Structure 1
Amino acid sequence: MSLTVVNGLPAHVLIVHFVIVLVPLSALALVVGAIWPSAARRMGVVLPLLALVTLASVPLASEAGEWLEEHVDSNALVRKHAELGDGLLPWAAGLLVLAAVVWWTARRPAAAEAGSGDRSRPVTARSATAVRVVTAVLCVGVAAGAMVDVYRIGDSGAKAAWQDGFTKSAQGDQGDKD
């Protein structure tokens, strides 16, 4: 099943708004959770679920965009937008993987405190801090990459849709009157 047209509009035009909202929201939640473990514990399973919905929205927007690409005049701007759009899926997958890691690591200390107190595998504070720092750096990098990619894709899509498609003055304007 493929979405092509919704209420007379190409589905891509509608679905892409989910991507535009969900990618930055997931990226922000991921970075906050990675830097602030108590926030990750409060977000709980919502963090990886948000990233999962984000990941699912990307191929839906891409598929709808491929349909739209076949139904509009092809030009360099449309081709560039389509090419850039193909690169978002790995970033969204990275958000999901890291969101799962942040969620898992944030819940483990809480479970360990309430658990049996098994100390057969001690984790030093130094190694735990190192893991948190590396995870936070990865999260910031993937979040930034995903957001920059969404911006670039959106900018190229707007140019493809609106380049030379409007005038700077409203119809009927006779110029600036002071």
Structure 2
Amino acid sequence: MTLVNGLPAHILLVHVVVVLIPLTALALMAAALWPRAARRLGVLLPVLAFVGLVSVPLTTNAGEWLERHVDSDPLVRRHTELGDGLLPWALGLFVLAAFVWWSGRRTAGAERGGRRSALPVRVVVGVLSVVVAVGAVVDVYRIGDSGAKAAWHDGFSKTAHQEGGSDGS
């Protein structure tokens, strides 16, 4: 996918990543640390994480196409380098989200059967979920910041232009 309605697809797809990765990170932390949230989110958690995961390479590929269609610039190259690092974080979110969902279903069945969940596993998964969620959100921020700098560094004036000419009309 390269163009959507005449615009570079990257410009549109990036919004999916910017929304879904932090949203998934927040939902994962809630579900991993609060079993009731995991039950309420249910299968939505891994589905959200999967859509976020799939959106990353689509956005990256569209960005690589865009990079080949703009002037070479160190800011663009930096943004591209940072963008290539998001996929492992998105994969981590998905794997942990699927595990939290699966273990939540398993734990619910075990509790009905009178067995208790393994607290050490929940603690490890909770810590991993927080680390991966924070890492993913920080990475999305860094990538977005570098992309904004690449797109806008020479694209605006620091002083406002007067509307209607210099005589105030």
Question: Normalised by the size of structure 2, how large is the TM-score?
Answer: 0.92
Q: Which residue of 2 aligns with 1:47?
A: 45
Please give the per-residue CA displacement for 1:86-141, whole angstroms capped at 9, x wherever unaligned. Answer: 000000000000001111111112122445x6xxxx76x6xx22111111100000
> Which consecutive aligned stretches of 4+ in structure 1 deviate over 4 angstroms post-superposition?
none
For 1:96-107, what aligned pairs fall within 5 Å after superposition?
A: 96-107=94-105
Q: Output the aligned Cα RMSD.
A: 1.7
For 1:155-170, what aligned pairs fall within 5 Å after superposition?
A: 155-170=145-160
For 1:74-153, what aligned pairs fall within 5 Å after superposition?
A: 74-114=72-112, 128-153=118-143
Distance 2:88 2:111 in 1: 35
Please give the per-residue CA displacement for 1:13-36, whole angstroms capped at 9, x wherever unaligned. Answer: 000000000000000000000010
Distance 1:7 1:170 in 2: 31
- In structure 2, list runs of 5 or more residues that go unmatched: none
Number of residue pairs aligned between Structure 1 and Structure 2: 165
SS in 1 for 2:69: coil
Q: Which amino acid aligns with 2:86?
A: L
Please tell me whether the aligned partners of residues 11 and 64 of structure 1 are also in contact (alpha carbons under 8 angstroms): yes
Shift of residue 8, structure 1, vs aligned partner: 1.5
Distance 2:44 2:91 in 1: 16
Distance 1:151 1:53 in 2: 19
Please tell me whether the aligned partners of residues 38 and 106 of structure 1 are also in contact (alpha carbons under 8 angstroms): no
